[in-house]
Chains A and B, each alone.
Chain A
């Protein structure tokens, strides 16, 4: 018996970890497709939030929103920080300093929002 084998056979007092039956995810369901659907849902929600103040989000900014969602879901802290900066710039662009927005228009928008 080798030294390594004897060390493995030693009882540690810990319960042995067993692999459970089946798979961690449902068989036949593409996780990539599920993630893509979640990303699209997040993009739609964020774009709807931006457009709530009356300005249409441009196609270039839609790509930026898609990138923002990918960065936001990343495990990297650096990516998350970048995502937050992208978010801030988009909010600044669409939710503040809107050309043609007056207090009366804004009040009407808010009233319509409250009525919903």
Chain B
């Protein structure tokens, strides 16, 4: 995976994601997003990063898993939509995908309706930017096909249907409302194991360059 822009530049540029999170109130999310893709933070941003994560410094590499525990209207869906759009539109995945293979940025939630709400943010960000909307080949109510080999899709969170996709990232929205009863046919644990399998299959490779974890999944 090769980023075409840094996350910091993309969030500052109105031609890209600059209008996605306008204003000072988004500074904390902006800091977390910059750190999440492995970019270096400024000393002031590191203080914010420590406040929210409890860690002294950013990892310096792209995260594997991002778990967000936050209240309503805290901006988690918007921020993660910005991350999804960054990974799917502003990064080049051609070196990771085989000929004919398409990468998927997958939105999952307990129901398709919930997933489509989160997906709407990502669609809005892409349509707002003339550069990113030029990548759109086709769109349906549940997917956007991009010319760079990536599809952004939504689905109901069911572990049986996650298998098979090559995910560049996976967002599990409203995960607190997934089934966790032991006898449930669609347990959250099973789902998480499946997601880890579809986003992390590179890490099982023997190639040390692929161990860095280029793909990520987020749980809101």
Contacts and interface: CB of A to CB of B under 8 A. Distances in A.
A96 B193 CA distance: 43
A8 interface: no
Nearest to A106: B131
Contacts of B89: 103
B212 interface: no
A110 B130 contact: no
Interface in A99-116: 101-104, 106-107, 110
A103 B130 contact: no
B9 interface: yes
A97 interface: yes
Size range of the interface on A?
10 to 19
A101 B131 contact: yes
Contacts of B15: 95-96, 106
Contacts of A96: 15, 130
Contacts of A106: 15, 131
Interface in A51-84: none
Interface string A78-96: 0000000000000000011
Interface string B129-162: 0111011000000000000000000000000000
B5 interface: yes
B4 interface: yes
A96 B18 CA distance: 13
A101 B9 CA distance: 18
Interface string B146-181: 000000000000000000000000000000000000
B80 interface: no
A107 B135 CA distance: 14
A77 B5 CA distance: 39
Contacts of A102: 131, 134
Interface in B1-43: 4-5, 9, 13, 15
A103 B9 contact: no
A97 B90 contact: no
A98 B4 CA distance: 19
Nearest to A108: B4
Nearest to A105: B131
Nearest to B131: A103
B4 A104 contact: yes
Contacts of A97: 130
Nearest to A114: B9
Nearest to A102: B134
24 contacts: A95-B15, A96-B15, A96-B130, A97-B130, A98-B130, A101-B130, A101-B131, A102-B131, A102-B134, A103-B4, A103-B89, A103-B90, A103-B131, A103-B132, A103-B134, A103-B135, A104-B4, A106-B15, A106-B131, A107-B4, A107-B5, A110-B5, A110-B9, A110-B13
Interface of B: 4-5, 9, 13, 15, 89-90, 130-132, 134-135
